[in-house]
Structure 1
Amino acid sequence: MSSSCGSRPPALRPAGSGIPAYGLSVEEVLGLPTLAGARLVAGAGGLDRVVERLNVMEVPDVFGWVKPNELLLTTGYPLRHTSGTLGRLVADLNACNLTALAVKPGRYLERLPDEMLEQADRLGLPLIRLPEDAGFDDILNQVLARILDRRAAALARGEEVHRALVQIVLCGGGLQEVTDEVATLLGAAVTVLDGDGRQLAASGDEALLTRLRGALAGLPPAAEEEAPAPGVLDHVPPAGVPASWPAGAAPREPAPGLDGPDTGDGPGTAPDGHLVVPVVAGGFTYGRMAVLGVSAADTGVLERVATVVALVITRQHAVSAVESKYRAYFLRDVLTGRSGADERVIAHSASFGWDLGRPATVVVAEPDQGPARGGTEERVLQDRLVTAWTSAVRRRDRKGAVAGFSGGVVAVVAADACDAPALAKDAAAVFADQDRTFSTGVSRVAQQPGDLPSAYDQAVRAVRVGRQMNGDGAVVHFDELGVFRLLSLVEDTAELHSFVQETLGELAGDQDSEAVDLRRTLQVLLETNLNVAETARRLHFHYNTLRYRIGKLERLLGPFTDDAHLRLNLTLALHVLRMRGI
């Protein structure tokens, strides 16, 4: 015999409850009146397996028709010529994720072989011996009726909870109000986490919440590209045992704080097992909702609860986006000198929780060039950059202003709290984009709101020239620009190119390696103020070799060792070449 069965997702049930949310456990099935004379002869370890459907075995090679979570009924007739391979039959049916096998021996199969019983015990596949007078139609009708009743009750319960939550949302309730109502209706501890694992809201018994937070400590942040489809419940397995996930799902670390065995076939059976539901809307995963202590009958409700939570979060995001845009408009007016008198700026900024009346520094962060992205991805990138800088600034200055501008982020930070390298490092840690970095420019201190437009111009110039000087990821203060600040004021780049070409001649290009080498020699000579011995030491040249190179440079460029003006021009030309993108 050979099986050809697909894998199944774990049955939808809370760990350790013994009662499935949909369907009946094998133990419950054995308690029905129509199976009063049935006996469990092997596989007692699988009594909590879930029966969601029934099937009748009519042929030995039944594997193509077996579905997960089935109770398979059979007489001995299909097995009468296969008694020697019944142990293998049990293994193949278990591989098909069959819930249990019920056999009515007697006329065609006198007894179930020991090999079959031993295999069922080893695999935990319940093997039930039916009495000779058992009618398959009675079993089918009674078991299916109970399953449908339970599903109908679960659907009604879901509708009840859904109506209660929607009413809260329609009355203006937020995420905390929804979470409170969920905890009350389900009698469980509930917490909602964002995509980075930060708690957005929590409610329920404090002891349960403490256990839930401890268990979630080992849960990795949700990855947008790994988000499961809506309606899929992830179970966090007990600590110390391998996680069991649907086929194709990425394995995740077990969560600490849970004890108990795991069957390795579906969710774990720990008494403290908790459920995690993805919060998904419009194909975007906003985070997760974790629940501990939910009853078996209510596990099916969690998917509908997650939908309402997603609705609330998307509404909050929409409101936040409008507020952020309004704050950005105001800050842009301040930084462009169109916001009016200082008193008005200070008063208005206070309504946003900002303090623009103190000495402050303007910081501008702009994404560096990276792989091309679509419009939606660029907006997501911009939002992530704003979030990263908001988080970094809040740690050092609770009243600092942060807003997203076109193509970047602007922050106005108290002068005594502005450690630009540390801010950029903290923001980069939150931003965490493998394909893109950002460069940062820092202004001088603005003593009053009227000075902020000038400070903003300084920060913009610092970030753009700093990137040209030092490459992507640069953090540059305006005062560090020196002569580059003046060169950046020249808007006609063609004029700069012409100046470099006229001054350096054939040393201006990068195609000739000898020209590049001579240009490096010239640069070090100018940096050492024509100190031949120091230049030879830095370049690891013999003194006579360097003298020869100086002669060659003067033949190409002119007598720069004697002409101070020529040395100035050469220095400026080399600075222009250092400015990337010019």
Structure 2
Amino acid sequence: MATLTVREVMTLAPLRGTYVLAGDSGIDRLVSGVNVMEVPDIEPYIKPGELLLTTAYPVRDRPESLVGLLRLLHSRGLAALAIKPLRYVERLPDRFAELADELAFPVLVVPGDTSFNEVITAVLGVVLAEHDPEPAHDEVIRERLTGIALAGGGLEEIARTLAGALDRSVEVVADDALVLGGSPQTPAEDTPAAPGRRTVRWEFPVTVAGVRRGHVLVGGQDEPSLAQRRLVRQACFAAGMHIAQALASIELDRRLRVVFLEELVTATSLDADALEQRARLFGWDLGGTSTVLLAACTTAPSERSLQSAARRTLGATAVAWLRGTQVVAIAPAHARAEEAFREALERAGAGPTVVASGCPAPTLTALPGSHATAQEVLHIAGVTHRSTTRYADLGFERLVLSLPPDRLRDFVEDQVGPLLRHDLQVDGDLCRTLEVFLGLGNAAEAARRLFVHYNTMKHRLQRIGELLGADLHDPRTRTALALALEAHRLVGPSPATGAAAGDGRRGQGRSSALE
């Protein structure tokens, strides 16, 4: 594998016009690969020796995090960071360039029209190259095979070229043909063997960055000669370059899709026609009313499992992507498949999962609103311990949480403060008793639900009335108490309640004074 420094990378055609912003004393770091940053939590996806390309879009809301990112990249042994002109971040943090110089970690600024895909192809074309002296008469074949890969030729063309040079049957196979969008090549027929001789096929691995990605099968009756093996190795290199380009293109396409989808659900003031056109270019049919779904997973499912789960449960037109351990999906509003999607994700290895869906979005430009409400619903689901919930089902909770928390806590304190403190101080269950009673409206039924004697229930209700100074037969009082209990569940205890509870635990005298 050829070596390449950051200084040499800057001389490649796709990076013409690139300059060093800071950290130029590390300009001779070795580059062994290329990566693109499209999520803030990039750490699981980077490897030592990589050149990291970014537009800074993932940290547009927290540009100060670039300083911590720089430390992380340096500690993980990356070669350099290349940033496009600051389209999403107005200015870099003050400490950023200074830290790059201290760490001798090169930070490059690339021209605004730089194609990340072309950069990946150019760098891989060098770092994957093998240096193997070959006879002069094989140079034409070697250049032809390399040219095929650089020109975007496929594995079939590589196989045909090698077969013509060797006068043998050749098959070039990618281990993951489906990922590359093709299928294994059909092997050419071997020349009939002479009587008593059999045709043998020799296998040569195709590797990319040390990982096997396919193989070349060469037929014939005799083992390939040393000269033929050199040509086969060159064909393996050309096939590896083709596969690397295909995989890099697929990965870049996936990341660009995620960037667009994130912009689609978070950005505002976007042009509807432009969004629809870009969505069509990616092959998505996002017409009609849609809904954003958020799934909080324990662990991130694989990309393939996620897409399979989304298609099965949300419909063929749904799109889904990963945001760390969170899954984001855009699905037709009529799908109503939150529970099915949750179960599918858990079967796909996501672990215990909570799924929330936002309000319907009649147009693509309304998706940020659906995303915002989905985040709100996901928060409420966590507070109320629900595994799935929808925006339309949380009218009461949304109404309560739309009020300032301090006002809600004051209301809770006014209505049920003494009751909350009583239960905390003596480990009682009067709040639960009141909640069940208000929900059923019948003391006898509430007693059965709580598995207590009816007389015990009457005593508890009497005690609740005394503590609160409230008439539990009054409809308005019952409504206010039910609202206060629900608000308490959503916003938590007030400082007064918590402090009094702490005092009660330190001395029962406080409890007796209340009672």
Structure 2 counterpart of 1:412:
330
Q: 1:170 aligns with which of 150, 169, 174?
A: 150
Distance in 2, matches of 1:182 and 1:424, equals: 50
Structure 2 counterpart of 1:190:
173
Q: CA offsets, 1:349-374, max 9 Å, x none?
A: 22221223323222223445x7xxxx
Alpha-carbon deviation of 1:312?
5.0
Distance in 1, matches of 2:264 and 2:385, equals: 30
Structure 2 counterpart of 1:365:
295
Distance in 1, matches of 2:149 and 2:362, equals: 46
Structure 1 counterpart of 2:380:
465
Structure 1 counterpart of 2:270:
339
Distance in 1, matches of 2:468 and 2:158, equals: 76
Distance in 2, matches of 1:422 and 1:390, equals: 14
> Residues 353-392 of structure 1 correspond to what in structure 2 (within 5 A)?
353-367=283-297, 381=300, 388-392=305-309
Q: CA offsets, 1:158-194, max 9 Å, x none?
A: x999987654432224678778889998745735139
> Residues 19-418 of structure 1 correspond to what in structure 2 (within 5 A)?
166-173=146-153, 187-188=170-171, 190-193=173-176, 201-205=182-186, 281=209, 289=214, 315-335=245-265, 336-340=267-271, 342-367=272-297, 381=300, 388-395=305-312, 397-403=315-321, 408-417=326-335
CA contact (8 A) 1:275 1:292 kept: yes
Distance in 2, matches of 1:444 and 1:516, equals: 39
Q: 1:533 to 1:350 in 2, by over 3 A?
A: same
Structure 1 counterpart of 2:416:
504
Does 1:551 find its partner at 2:482? no
Structure 1 counterpart of 2:362:
447
CA contact (8 A) 2:292 2:358 kept: yes
CA contact (8 A) 1:364 1:442 kept: yes
Q: 1:488 to 1:580 in 2, by over 3 A?
A: closer
State the AA in 2 paired with 1:172. Answer: G
Q: 1:438 to 1:511 in 2, by over 3 A?
A: same
Distance in 2, matches of 1:414 and 1:306, equals: 46
Count of equivalent residues: 340
Q: Which of the pair has more CA radius of gyration?
A: 1
Local SS of the residue matching 2:176: strand
State the AA in 1 paired with 2:452. Answer: F
Q: 1:277 to 1:503 in 2, by over 3 A?
A: farther
Per mean C-alpha deviation after superposition, the further-off stretch among 171-180 and 568-577 is: 171-180
Structure 2 counterpart of 1:486:
399
Distance in 1, matches of 2:460 and 2:341, equals: 45
Structure 2 counterpart of 1:423:
341
Structure 2 residue ranges without an equivalent (≥5):
1-131, 190-198, 494-515
TM-score (norm 1): 0.46
State the AA in 2 paired with 1:486. Answer: L
% identical equivalent positions: 25
Q: 1:571 aligns with which of 482, 506, 513?
A: 482
CA contact (8 A) 1:365 1:438 kept: yes
Q: 1:173 to 1:575 in 2, by over 3 A?
A: farther
Distance in 1, matches of 2:184 and 2:215, equals: 11
Distance in 2, matches of 1:433 and 1:573, equals: 36
Q: 1:518 to 1:361 in 2, by over 3 A?
A: same
Structure 2 counterpart of 1:151:
none
Alpha-carbon deviation of 1:528?
0.6
Q: CA offsets, 1:475-514, max 9 Å, x none?
A: 2111122311223334x54554554455433554798495
Distance in 2, matches of 1:310 and 1:509, equals: 70
> Residues 8-27 of structure 1 correspond to what in structure 2 (within 5 A)?
none
Q: CA offsets, 1:119-156, max 9 Å, x none?
A: xxxxxxxxxxxxxxxxxxxxxxxxxxxxxxxxxxx998
Alpha-carbon deviation of 1:547?
0.7
CA contact (8 A) 1:182 1:190 kept: no
Structure 1 residue ranges without an equivalent (≥5):
1-153, 209-270, 371-380
CA contact (8 A) 1:509 1:515 kept: no
Distance in 2, matches of 1:454 and 1:316, equals: 36
CA contact (8 A) 2:170 2:217 kept: no
Q: CA offsets, 1:192-229, max 9 Å, x none?
A: 139xx988654244899xxxxxxxxxxxxxxxxxxxxx
Does 1:562 find its partner at 2:473? yes
Two-structure CA RMSD over aligned residues (Å)? 4.9
Alpha-carbon deviation of 1:542?
0.9
TM-score (norm 2): 0.51
Distance in 1, matches of 2:344 and 2:134, equals: 49
Alpha-carbon deviation of 1:315?
4.1
Q: 1:421 to 1:173 in 2, by over 3 A?
A: farther
CA contact (8 A) 1:366 1:409 kept: yes
Does 1:525 find its partner at 2:446? no
Per mean C-alpha deviation after superposition, the further-off stretch among 168-177 and 535-544 is: 168-177
CA contact (8 A) 1:192 1:289 kept: yes
Alpha-carbon deviation of 1:561?
0.8
Distance in 2, matches of 1:566 and 1:413, equals: 43
Alpha-carbon deviation of 1:524?
0.9
CA contact (8 A) 1:466 1:476 kept: yes
Local SS of the residue matching 2:371: helix
Local SS of the residue matching 1:203: coil
Distance in 2, matches of 1:162 and 1:575, equals: 75
Distance in 2, matches of 1:510 and 1:171, equals: 78
